[in-house]
Amino acid sequence: DILKLDMLVNTLENEHELDKNSLAELLECKDVPILYTAADRVRKKFVGDDVYLRGLIEFSNFCCRTCFYCGLRAANSGIKRYRMEPGEVIECAANAVKYGLKTIVLQSGEDKFFTVNDLCKIVDKIKDMGTAVTLSVGELSRNDYTALKHAGADRYLLRIETSNEKLYESLHPRMSYKNRVRCLYDLKELGYETGTGCLIGLPGQTPEMLAEDLLFFKKIDADMIGMGPFIPCKGTPLEYEAEGNVETVLKMMALARLLMPDINMPVTTALGVKADDGYRKGLGCGANVIMPNMGIDDYKKLYAIYPGKGDKVETLENQINVIKCLISKEGRVVGKHFGGRIRTVKI
Ligand code: 5AD
């Protein structure tokens, strides 16, 4: 069995391919340090020791969707809603730039209050600061994605959440799996660096489904992959379900790095919340991106996708310092460039 494990990890490290059943098998292994060390080697070889910092601004927690797992779902009346003024968003971005961050990530619930035109103006202003801009505002029409691209947006994050159509549709009332996939292909075609990812440990999710998630990421040629444990959240239909397993998240990250050696992969806040030392562990399993929250303190705890997030709000300076310390302690360096995906593997 150890021999077989060795063989599978070897294949992954050398060929960056593996079939679904073998991936599922690896996901079911208990503790797999050789998987982590292989992912760490591949990370070093293909994207180096740089860790890129992206300044996250969660500018609105209003959402018209009713995803079963998410605390921001429209039907959750238990949270206070907020919306930043465009001027506040710009100010946060300027602050992030002051701390040396080279990418601004604008994220929100699907808040139809902001028109695409509003968003275009904000993107345009932030682009003038000389940063890369990533958007994460959900499903839009191809036209809207086009307008935002023209306004200067460089990248887009839209997790598929699960690539299992049945599971997807059982967790997302009145949404369709096909439209989500359409969004991802539109984003790719329009020239966005496109990020996706999944939740790990959703009720009903099997190792085979997780293996398929990885193969889906590879198939659509995702440029970035963000994955974190499912964390049950009060005020949602999944409130009393079990949470996702941290080791499974680390294995998924390692497998993503091995399958897609030159992608960007963050350590997610959800992993940081659930694992002791989550950021350090993530960095050791293939991650090369950290996303410090550069928003407004009072709003951070209101962006309550899941519990635990925003429990310890630190000053921006502290937050960045802690991250920089961790990076150097792990023998890594803070990336000085935009940190876009640089293709080093032929497809
Ligand atoms: N636990 C973990 N992650 C969650 N997200 C939403 N709700 C939860 C939860 N309860 C993730 C989704 C979404 C991202 C912004 O947050 O994957 O894409």
Whether 108 has a pLDDT exceeding 80, the answer reads: yes
Atom of ligand 1 minimally distant from the CA of 136: 15
Task: Taking residues 24-42, report their average pLDDT.
Answer: 95
Query: Which phi and psi (to 5°) does residue 45 adopt?
Result: -70, -40
Task: Output helix, strand, coil percentages for the chain, rounded to the nearest 5.
Answer: 45, 15, 45
What is the C-alpha separation between 337 and 52, in angstroms, rounded? 8
Residues contacting 245, CB < 8 A, separation 6+:
200, 201, 229
Residues contacting 287, CB < 8 A, separation 6+:
43, 51, 253, 257, 265, 266, 267
Atom of ligand 1 minimally distant from the CA of 197: 17
Give residue 218 CA to ligand 1 midpoint distance, Å.
21
Give residue 306 CA to ligand 1 midpoint distance, Å.
7
Contact residues of ligand 1, CB 6 A cut-off:
69-70, 159, 161, 199, 228, 230-231, 233, 270, 305-306
Atom of ligand 1 minimally distant from the CA of 233: 10
How much of the chain, in percent, has pLDDT values that exceed 70? 100
Give residue 199 CA to ligand 1 midpoint distance, Å.
7
Task: Taking residues 199-224, report their average pLDDT.
Answer: 98
Task: Taking residues 219-229, report their average pLDDT.
Answer: 98
pLDDT tens digit string along 79-102? 999 999 999 999 999 999 999 999
CB 39 within 8 A of CB 286: yes
272: amino acid identity, one letter: G
Q: How many CB atoms lie within 10 A of CB 164?
A: 23
Task: Taking residues 108-114, report their average pLDDT.
Answer: 97
CB 270 within 8 A of CB 229: yes
Query: Would you state the pLDDT for residue 180?
Result: 98
45: amino acid identity, one letter: K
CA distance from start to end of the chain: 32
What is the C-alpha separation between 309 and 318, in angstroms, rounded? 17
Query: Would you state the pLDDT for residue 215?
Result: 98
What is the C-alpha separation between 343 and 347, in angstroms, rounded? 9
User: Where are the domains positioned within the chain?
Assistant: 27-334
CB 109 within 8 A of CB 72: yes
Query: Would you state the pLDDT for residue 347?
Result: 62
Give residue 71 CA to ligand 1 midpoint distance, Å.
8
Residue 137's alpha-carbon distances to 160, 266, 270, 314, in angstroms, are 13, 18, 18, 25
283: amino acid identity, one letter: L
Query: Which phi and psi (to 5°) does residue 267 adopt?
Result: -85, 125
The helix/strand/coil state of 226 is strand
Residue from 54, 65, 68, 69 to probe ligand 1 pocket by mutation (most atoms less than 8 Å from CB)? 69
> pLDDT band at residue 276, thresholds of 50, 70 and 90?
confident
Give residue 186 CA to ligand 1 midpoint distance, Å.
22
Task: Taking residues 42-55, report their average pLDDT.
Answer: 98
What is the C-alpha separation between 51 and 128, in angstroms, rounded? 24
Q: How many CB atoms lie within 10 A of CB 146?
A: 16
Task: Supply 310's token pair.
Answer: 């925003």
Query: Would you state the pLDDT for residue 346?
Result: 72
Whether 174 has a pLDDT exceeding 70, the answer reads: yes
Give residue 4 CA to ligand 1 midpoint distance, Å.
34
Query: Would you state the pLDDT for residue 100?
Result: 97
Task: Taking residues 11-38, report their average pLDDT.
Answer: 96
May I ask the CATH architecture of the domain 27-334? Answer: Alpha-Beta Barrel (3.20)
pLDDT tens digit string along 121-149? 999 999 999 999 999 999 999 999 999 99
Whether 285 has a pLDDT exceeding 70, the answer reads: yes
User: What length is written for the chain?
Assistant: 347
Q: How many CB atoms lie within 10 A of CB 266?
A: 28
Nearest CA to ligand 1 atom 6: 70
What is the C-alpha separation between 123 and 117, in angstroms, rounded? 10
What is the C-alpha separation between 286 and 148, in angstroms, rounded? 30
